Structure 1
Amino acid sequence: MTEHEGPTLADATRGRILYGGDYNPEQWPEEVWHEDVRLMREAGVNSVTLGVFSWSRIEPRPGERDFGWLDRLMDLMHENGIGVVLATPTASPPPWMGHLHPDTLPRDEDGRTEWWGGRQHFSHSSATYRRLAAAVTEDLAARYGGHPALTMWHINNEYCTYDWGDEAAARFRDWLRARYGTLDALNTAWGTAFWSQGYGDWAEVLPPRRAHYLKNPTQVLDFKRFTSDMLLECYTAERDIVRRHTPHLPVTTNFMPLWAGQDAWRWAEEEDVVSVDLYPDPRDPLGAQDGALVQDMTRSQARGPWMLMEQAAGPVNWRGVNHPKPRGLNRLWSLQAVARGADAVCYFQWRQSRQGAEKFHSGMVGHAGERGRAYQEVRQLGADLARIAPHVTGGRIAADVAVLHDWHSWWAGDQEARPSREVDYPQVLRAWHRALWQAHLTTDFAHPAHDLSAYRMVVVPQLYLLTDAAVDNLLAYVRGGGTLVCGFLTGVADQDDRVRPGGMDARLRALFGIRTLHEWWPLEAGETAECEGFRGTLWSEELEPDGTADETTPYKGGELDGLPAVLRKGRAWYVSTLPEPEALRELLARAAGEAGVRPVLDGLPDRVEAVRRGELLFLLNHGREPVTVEVPGAHHDLLAEEAVTDRLTLGRYGVAVLRS
């Protein structure tokens, strides 16, 4: 990835941490707007996002424009010192569009139309939708590009639509022609000699619609690549419009955390600001680790500070049981995001809706109003962010460990007719990141083709699909002195999901000291594989070593008795199972220690997280009980505004931000 050129998040923050959230005032009488502004100022809110779902209000009938209400809001925000992240409203087209232009509506793999009445009901391939989206974006940018309240543009919202319709099929064929050039090349890439699938005319090629039995895996893989690219085209078309009017202002769109539909590495290169929506389950004992993973991934995509675009002040509305956040958890998780690189902490939404599908999704101002716990905690957090902002904004995080992740590998590996349905890529990724997080090792994420030379250790939880260039990159990294720890089912397929000879790339087998991979031995749910010193879960492999490994850890008992579960050859490790959590933590901590990687702070109690950002040390207690933390030396806690020498006590969900 190249260094970003153009406006950045710093151009919007101007030394502050952006604090606020989605504001949907069209849902409320105008007299409420002034009450909102009073509460925003008391809470330290300095940024709101306007217009995300306002298309029918801006364009109530085809070609009409109603900007009067938005004019008044923009002026009101400016008069009160609150910046505006202005959204293009194109995520939710008005009913008239689907009614007059049914070609704008997406179709599912069975050919059924997705109708208006919800949101995201647009076809990414529809020329009509793109034309109308460009028109409203053009008028919005022309009207507000010079407004003093405007600080950033937010394009669409949570791009997540698929389309199997006829117009999408035509665009898919165009995309495939550009990728392969000829039908012969496509037939080779897709392996159409199997099941008599050979194509003789481009008109025969369709998206992977409903089939009698299993679909062609590479066709499915390419359709996912195509979908990500079509959505990206929608984003860049609107981005280019607003950039033409305001080249000095940054542009973003919000990712969903670890969502399968977008190649976020590629998308991030097209954004000035990388932003994400993050909703860990407050009842999940590993919710903090899930948050840390998304934060590390987003920071790595941004190559620096990033924006937490959405989180919940309390409960959400889309889980089976929607629990509120316990007292203090909202503050803890918000400051965790800042610790891991966020220079913007925002919510969906400002005021909780009284009607509509999300009326039970919390807001910064909940149904209980300003006396409610949600708003009172929002006020406290606003004061906390104001205290630390001068010391933290723009601060970088140094990591000696990189976790490799690639959407194309995920897309290829997460299909039908694989050795095990129990293997879930996000589950494996989380397990490896959790082990590093619990060992207090700071991690970046990286693409397997990125320059890895800055890292002492690189871990590959699982990359089923690896291109030749990615394999070469890993080999060069180890030759250059880096430590590589690789998980099972890696390097199995090439870029076309074609299984490599031997079931694993031969260069990787040689790197790890494996002569032959005889069989994959997936494990049933709950089944374990006994290994020397630990138990493996989910997966095992019948490996024949070539005698060059420096160290092996064998399986014990069963069909694989005596065969290697783990091999280490020089600085390259291969782990053919998923060790239970404590064992994986110990393995990665050992490999990191031998690579010269050290924890952020030694002797930390369980459930305490430590992160260094710039000159600051963040300490976060993810437990309900107070804990004492040893912090040798003299420090100043920016949150408590008091001196700390050698040790401190963190209360329930407590946070300290120490400056030495």
Structure 2
Amino acid sequence: MINDKLPKIWYGGDYNPEQWEADIWDEDVRMFKLAGIDVATLNVFSWALNQPNEETYDFAWLDETIDRLHKNGIYTCLATSTGAHPAWMAKKYPDVLRVDYQGRKRKFGGRHNSCPNSPTYRKYSKLIAGKLAERYKDHPAVLIWHVSNEYGGYCYCDNCAAGFRTWLQQRYGTIEKLNKAWNTRFWGHTFYEWDEIVVPNELSEEWAGNRTNFQGISLDYRRFMSNSLLECYRIEYEELKKHTPDLPVTTNLMGFYPELDYFEWAKYLDVVSWDNYPSFNTPFSFTAMTHDLMRGLKSGQPFMLMEQTPSQQNWQPYNSLKRPGVMRLWSYQAVARGADTVMFFQLRRSIGACEKYHGAVIEHVGHEHTRVFRECAELGGELKQLSDSVLDARVDAKVGIIYDWENRWAVELSSGPSVGLNYVDEVHKYYAALFNRNVQTDMIGVEEDLGRYDVVIAPVMYMVKPGFADKVEAFVKDGGTFLTTFFSGIVNENDLVTTGGYPGELRKVLGIWAEEIDSLFPDQRNQIVMKSKLGSLEGSYECGLLCDLIHTEGAEVIAEYGDDFYAGMPVVTVNKFGKGEAWYVASSPDQAFLDGLLKHICDAKGIRPTLDNVPEQVEVARRVKDGKEILFLMNHGKQPAVVPVGDSPAVNLLDGTEQHGSIELPAHGVTILQRTVQA
């Protein structure tokens, strides 16, 4: 439970009463009560209001707001307001302003505009966090601290350059070790003094965002920037904990956001929270994977859905409305995959600036007689009803998929072999194969205990960090099944190639070595030709993108390439290793092949779908609590669907009826069943 002051699924979102006149505040409260809203996120971007100058702090408006809401049964998720610094700070202390990728000093404006290595920003963000914590430490309404907002964005100023050099000295110790790690004898880049090192941007080593002359330098700068922003968060975290040690602290993450290593960040979050903004056409399997990643950041601990829109977004090229039922459907998708809160941005629509057309519980018309409000109120009532059964329930998975931000950075920075290689897309292909069978899956980091799983999948594990290969070998020796793919085991943590044959340190467990890697153009395809039938797999399937030309060293050949000069060479292998086995898929297959391969692997390990014979458009997810399983059946299709749920008696948690056999889900419909965990 996040905070037992409010022992239910929290329902609410961002509220900005300071943007409105006082005569509307009581109406807000009335409508919040109608909608079942019980948590308001306050003070997210109010630093300039709270601190009008360097010496003055004024929290009178915040006192009044928190008290007014609490008097009406509405609790507070209290932000520290440090997501955007005040104008006076930028005017008086220009070090607080970032320098962009092109080397230009920013002016005041926007948000995420503070240099993470600015002494000014760090000083005043700590001060205001401390003043807020001291002021509200005993307030019964405050449930959780929300530090800053959606951290992100890099800076390339002189403070960051100096901080980068200090960070490098701590990481490598000597300039000689740094030169070796970066392979600086290439292109005559040897450094003799620390102050010769400059930040990698368009003025030095990089261009077009992820193109770089020196992967080691650029990779380390991403590590440094992620760490710099994390240090800013930790400064506030520690100040808050000094005054309120028992209040949880979080900051809202952004799913697969590329710039920050969230597995490292999660170590310093008491609870993970994140903002879910899929597009109209985002595959619902991708949204599910993102929820599973957020849950996986803290080894399966329930997370907070901090933001979603009740209706539409405003920053995408085409901002579609959520069709009737979709807001409810997507909310339950989050709950099904581990969320213990459902919260929105925003509770009342702004009337000016860039988010005035972003959806809200209370629309511009200002009353409750809207489709969006009715749907929000209905969901609020249901969540209150479900809380006792669902709150703190866990997801139990026997399959883990490894995702690693540093590996992603290295893949994206690679100067070949293909611009078409997208790490996240390749991970999603494997996730989707499991999702399509309703197999519960955890998204995990390289530091996770692999022994928790029967099957571990590591798509495109290009970078092998120290100790990871040993973990994989121990896992497989002990009976686990490991699968990895093309372009794996190539480099170490410094992006230096592991010589002696790809896949480097993974070569022994996989029983293969790769001689070359062919890069296919987008219109080129090769064939995966099965040597014999494997479960449902037989015949041939398409593959593309990259093709590793591999030789076996003890591994069994499952399938061969069908085309080109390497026709007949292995493309899919499995190696017996100790009590387990290790699979290698040497190209990027079509989805039909992956569906069949992962079905075979799961069947061999006795990993069953949560439900069988489920229609394609229906998602099934499962949480477990107190010997009971909660099944979430969610129809993402535009047509009704019939779902077989088996003969074991189950209770529909939304209407109390007993269900068995088959049930019909309407378009965008949700049914939540509870029954005794099946042996």
TM-score by length of 2: 0.93
Separation in structure 2 between the aligned mates of residue 221 and residue 212 of structure 1, nearest angstrom: 12
Q: Which moved more, 1:587-596 or 1:119-128?
A: 587-596
SS of equivalent to 1:635: strand
Q: Report if the CA contact (8 A) 1:512-1:549 is conserved.
A: yes
In structure 1, stretches of 5+ residues that fail to align are: 1-8
Q: Which moved more, 1:641-650 or 1:37-46?
A: 641-650
Separation in structure 1 between the aligned mates of residue 427 and residue 645 of structure 2, nearest angstrom: 31
**Match for residue 195 of structure 2?**
203
**Match for residue 648 of structure 1?**
663
Q: Report if the CA contact (8 A) 2:439-2:608 is conserved.
A: yes
Query: Following TM superposition, by how much is the alpha carbon of 1:139 offset from its aligned partner in structure 2, in angstroms?
Result: 1.3
Separation in structure 1 between the aligned mates of residue 653 and residue 196 of structure 2, nearest angstrom: 65
Q: 1:13 to 1:441 in 2, by over 3 A?
A: farther
Decide which of 66, 70, 83 is 1:74's aligned counterpart: 66
Separation in structure 1 between the aligned mates of residue 649 and residue 523 of structure 2, nearest angstrom: 48
Query: Following TM superposition, by how much is the alpha carbon of 1:550 offset from its aligned partner in structure 2, in angstroms?
Result: 2.6
Decide which of 564, 572, 575 is 1:566's aligned counterpart: 572
Q: 1:96 to 1:326 in 2, by over 3 A?
A: same
Separation in structure 1 between the aligned mates of residue 514 and residue 520 of structure 2, nearest angstrom: 17
**Match for residue 58 of structure 1?**
50
Q: 1:100 to 1:626 in 2, by over 3 A?
A: same
**Match for residue 3 of structure 1?**
none
Decide which of 126, 129, 133 is 1:134's aligned counterpart: 126
Separation in structure 2 between the aligned mates of residue 392 and residue 233 of structure 1, nearest angstrom: 35
Q: Report if the CA contact (8 A) 1:17-1:385 is conserved.
A: yes
Decide which of 339, 344, 353 is 1:342's aligned counterpart: 339
For residues 218-617 of structure 1, the aligned pairs below 5 Å read: 218-284=216-282, 286=283, 288-303=284-299, 304-369=301-366, 370-514=368-512, 516-532=513-529, 533-546=540-553, 548-570=554-576, 571-614=581-624, 615-617=629-631
Q: 1:579 to 1:212 in 2, by over 3 A?
A: closer
Deviations 1:509-561 (A, max 9, x none): 232221x4121112212432112121113221111223x22332001021220
| Letter in structure 2 aligned against 1:291 | T
| Letter in structure 2 aligned against 1:476 | A
Q: Report if the CA contact (8 A) 2:489-2:504 is conserved.
A: no
Deviations 1:591-634 (A, max 9, x none): 11112211111111111111111121111111111111111222
Pair 1:108 & 2:111 matched: no
Pair 1:636 & 2:633 matched: no
Separation in structure 1 between the aligned mates of residue 459 and residue 509 of structure 2, nearest angstrom: 17
Q: Which moved more, 1:404-413 or 1:362-371?
A: 362-371
SS of equivalent to 2:643: strand
Query: Following TM superposition, by how much is the alpha carbon of 1:12 offset from its aligned partner in structure 2, in angstroms?
Result: 5.0
SS of equivalent to 1:538: strand
For residues 16-31 of structure 1, the aligned pairs below 5 Å read: 16-31=8-23
Q: Report if the CA contact (8 A) 1:59-1:65 is conserved.
A: yes
Q: Which moved more, 1:499-508 or 1:90-99?
A: 499-508
The RMSD of aligned alpha carbons is 1.4
Q: 1:581 to 1:367 in 2, by over 3 A?
A: farther
Separation in structure 2 between the aligned mates of residue 589 and residue 377 of structure 1, nearest angstrom: 38
Runs of 4 or more, structure 1, over 4 Å off, are none
Query: Following TM superposition, by how much is the alpha carbon of 1:416 offset from its aligned partner in structure 2, in angstroms?
Result: 4.9
Query: Following TM superposition, by how much is the alpha carbon of 1:329 offset from its aligned partner in structure 2, in angstroms?
Result: 0.6
| Letter in structure 2 aligned against 1:324 | L
Q: 1:12 to 1:354 in 2, by over 3 A?
A: farther
Q: Report if the CA contact (8 A) 2:464-2:505 is conserved.
A: no
For residues 57-206 of structure 1, the aligned pairs below 5 Å read: 57-206=49-198
Deviations 1:213-246 (A, max 9, x none): 7431100000000011111110011011111111
Separation in structure 2 between the aligned mates of residue 432 and residue 30 of structure 1, nearest angstrom: 52
Task: Give the paired residue count.
Answer: 648
| Letter in structure 2 aligned against 1:489 | F
| Letter in structure 2 aligned against 1:267 | W
Deviations 1:637-659 (A, max 9, x none): 11233221212110011111111
Decide which of 619, 634, 639 is 1:620's aligned counterpart: 634
Q: Report if the CA contact (8 A) 2:503-2:514 is conserved.
A: no
% same residue: 37
Separation in structure 1 between the aligned mates of residue 499 and residue 564 of structure 2, nearest angstrom: 27
Separation in structure 2 between the aligned mates of residue 443 and residue 39 of structure 1, nearest angstrom: 39
SS of equivalent to 1:223: helix
Q: Report if the CA contact (8 A) 2:502-2:515 is conserved.
A: no
**Match for residue 209 of structure 2?**
none
Q: Report if the CA contact (8 A) 1:137-1:238 is conserved.
A: yes
| Letter in structure 2 aligned against 1:494 | N
Separation in structure 2 between the aligned mates of residue 518 and residue 463 of structure 1, nearest angstrom: 17
